[in-house]
């Protein structure tokens, strides 16, 4: 074993830490990563303050700590990594070839710390990296990092200018990639999500057209046997659906449906993207029904909605609202068919969805209004007084929770009046007719 005071001790320990880090990437053994970090600490302790290798060793150690954070999530690792890269930047001269990568590393760590102050500094140091290097690979990493940093700023601030900056840096990074690589296709897919978000913020046709072009470019770069092909189809289908929403050309809606069907056919059960695509297809088939008014379209919409609900795991944030979505689709199907079996299914779905929904949820009132209608329908067809009583109770609560300036307030008030009038016709209680008239 090399003695601690040997002049090469720090170099050997640094190299050993590097080898252990390589072994970690091969084994994914967290203990090996811990060992690499411990060895790196010894190397830094053994490195003199004025040693020209110190800055590089500090950056390497910071990368390992950043890696451990991505695995274990301990913020202290990021804080330690930030401290190390900050010291490294004080040691690495402005004209040193490693300074640009050190700046990028520091920016990446600050981005993960993600406070507004950290993100501001991350943007500054990473932009500095772009100004001091002409190396194509380093420039790519810097611009990609700036894309991520400004998107994180946008998520915190909601400022569209930050989103625009993110898109600009993404485009700049993509321009440095080979024109026919999967890496380019995947980054184009990421750019599409940014551009689509920009469109949703601005609602301009230019923004949407740019997003559609990007989705098409990504799709055209991926072969059908590539696992990313389904992602590209999903993005393209979304772009086409947004185009239909903006321009109203039915061909875009039909193409969107066809595209997402293809994506679903390629995805395995249990893949989170399959549940997303099934939910998307539900919405698009629902839109198609409102155009065609064809019963087969709403039947298929309901069928796909149930598949989507089954594919969405318990605890997923979309599970409860989508359960309400299914209930509403079933109600629409019943209105078209007047089938008692479908009425029963619609009531069961709406009742279950309501049991999962809070009064503060944005879709609660619509769900309650829907269920009160269904119960009143069953009362009119089967004569159960309990259904009418529950319809009145729900409608009254719905009115209480609906503001008077809400677009559906008048319609919901009329529904309550109808239910009260029906109850008056049965029991003759004057209070019901007075309330209905009021």
Average pLDDT, the chain: 95
pLDDT at 25 over 80: yes
- Extract the tokens encoding 252: 């875009």
Top pLDDT among 379 and 4 is at 379
SS3 179: coil
pLDDT at 1 (0 to 100): 46
Beta carbons of 222 and 228 less than 8 angstroms apart: yes
Residue 438's pLDDT band, with cuts at 50, 70 and 90, is low
- Write down the pLDDT at residue 423: 92
pTM of the model: 0.85
Number of other residues whose CB lies within 10 A of the CB of residue 34: 15
Q: What is the mean pLDDT of residues 16-43?
A: 96
> What is the pLDDT at residue 235?
97
Spatial distance between the Cα atoms of 74 and 65, rounded to a whole number of angstroms = 10
**Which H or E element spans position 16?**
helix 9-27
Tell me what percent of the residues of the chain surpass a pLDDT of 70.
98
Q: What is the pLDDT of residue 180?
A: 77
Domains (ranges, CATH) in the chain? 358-438 (1.25.40)
Closest CA relative to residue 108, chosen from 139, 145, 152, 61: 145
Per-residue pLDDT for 2 more than 70? Answer: no
Each residue of 70-82: pLDDT tens digit? 999 999 999 999 9
In whole angstroms, give the CA distance from residue 97 to residue 92: 9
Q: What ranges in 28-115 are assigned the alpha helix state H? A: 30-45, 54-72, 75-91, 99-113
Instruction: Report the 10 Å Cβ neighbour count for 279.
Output: 22
pLDDT (tens digit per residue) in 210-243: 999 999 999 999 999 999 999 999 999 999 999 9
Least confident among 121-125, 158-162, 180-184, 186-190: 180-184
Asked whether 81 and 69 are in contact (CB, 8 A), the reply is yes
pLDDT in tens, 388-425: 999 999 999 999 999 999 999 999 999 999 999 999 89
Helices (H) and strands (E) in the chain, counts: 20, 0
- What DSSP letter does each residue of 189-258 carry, written as one string? HHHHHHHHHHHHHH--HHHHHHHHHHHHHHHHTS-TTSTTHHHHHHHHHHHHHHHHHHH--HHHHHHHHH
> What is the CA 130 to chain-centroid distance, rounded?
29
SS3 label, residue 370? helix
- Cα separation, 9 vs 19, in Å, equals 15
23 C-beta neighbours (distance < 10 Å), count: 14
Nearest to 32 by CA among 43, 16, 44: 16
**Structure-block tokens of residue 181:** 């690589």
pLDDT band for 178, please (50, 70, 90 cuts). confident
Question: Does the pLDDT at position 429 exceed 90?
Answer: no
375 closest CA partner among 337, 327, 410: 327
Place of tokens 């999530």: 73
Q: Note the pLDDT tens digit of each residue in 245-271.
A: 999 999 999 999 999 999 999 999 999
Residue 145 has pLDDT above 70, yes or no: yes
Q: Does residue 57 carry a pLDDT above 60?
A: yes
């Amino acid at each position: 074993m090399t003695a601690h005071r040997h002049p090469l001790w720090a170099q050997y320990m640094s190299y050993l830490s590097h080898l252990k880090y390589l072994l970690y990437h091969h084994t994914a053994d967290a203990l090996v990563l811990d060992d690499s970090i411990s060895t790196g600490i010894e190397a830094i302790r053994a490195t003199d303050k004025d040693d020209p290798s110190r800055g590089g060793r500090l950056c390497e150690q910071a990368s390992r700590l950043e890696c451990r954070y991505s695995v274990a999530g301990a913020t202290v690792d990021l804080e330690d990594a930030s401290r190390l890269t900050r010291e490294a930047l004080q040691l690495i001269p402005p004209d040193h070839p490693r300074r640009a990568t050190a700046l990028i590393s520091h920016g990446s760590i600050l981005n993960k710390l993600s406070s507004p102050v950290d993100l501001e500094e991350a943007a500054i140091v990473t932009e500095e990296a772009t100004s001091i290097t002409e190396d194509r690979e380093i420039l790519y990493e810097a611009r990609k990092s700036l894309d991520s940093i400004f998107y994180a700023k946008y998520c915190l601030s909601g400022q569209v200018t930050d989103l625009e900056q993110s898109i600009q840096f993404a485009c700049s990074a993509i321009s440095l990639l080979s024109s026919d690589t999967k890496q380019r296709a995947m980054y184009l897919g990421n750019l599409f999500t940014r551009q689509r978000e920009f469109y949703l913020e601005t609602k301009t046709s230019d923004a949407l057209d740019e997003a559609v072009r990007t989705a098409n470019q990504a799709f055209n770069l991926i072969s059908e046997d590539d696992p990313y092909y389904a992602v590209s189809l999903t993005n393209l289908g979304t772009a086409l659906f947004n185009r239909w929403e903006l321009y109203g050309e039915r061909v875009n809606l039909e193409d969107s449906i066809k595209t997402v069907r293809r994506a679903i056919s390629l995805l395995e059960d249990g893949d989170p993207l399959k549940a997303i695509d099934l939910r998307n297809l539900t919405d698009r088939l629902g839109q198609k029904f409102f155009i065609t008014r064809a019963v087969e379209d709403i039947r298929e919409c309901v069928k796909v909605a149930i598949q989507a609900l089954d594919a969405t795991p318990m605890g997923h944030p979309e599970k409860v609202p989508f359960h309400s979505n299914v209930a509403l689709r079933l109600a629409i199907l019943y209105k078209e068919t007047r089938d008692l079996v479908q009425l029963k299914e619609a009531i069961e779905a709406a009742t279950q969805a309501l049991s999962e929904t809070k009064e503060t949820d944005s879709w609660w009132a619509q769900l309650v209004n829907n269920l009160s209608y269904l119960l009143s329908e069953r009362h009119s067809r089967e004569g159960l007084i309990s259904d009418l009583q529950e319809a009145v109770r729900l409608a009254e609560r719905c009115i209480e929770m609906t503001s008077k300036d809400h677009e559906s307030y008048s319609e919901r008030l009329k529904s309550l009046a109808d239910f009260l009038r029906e109850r008056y016709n049965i029991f003759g209680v004057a209070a019901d007719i007075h309330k209905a008239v009021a």
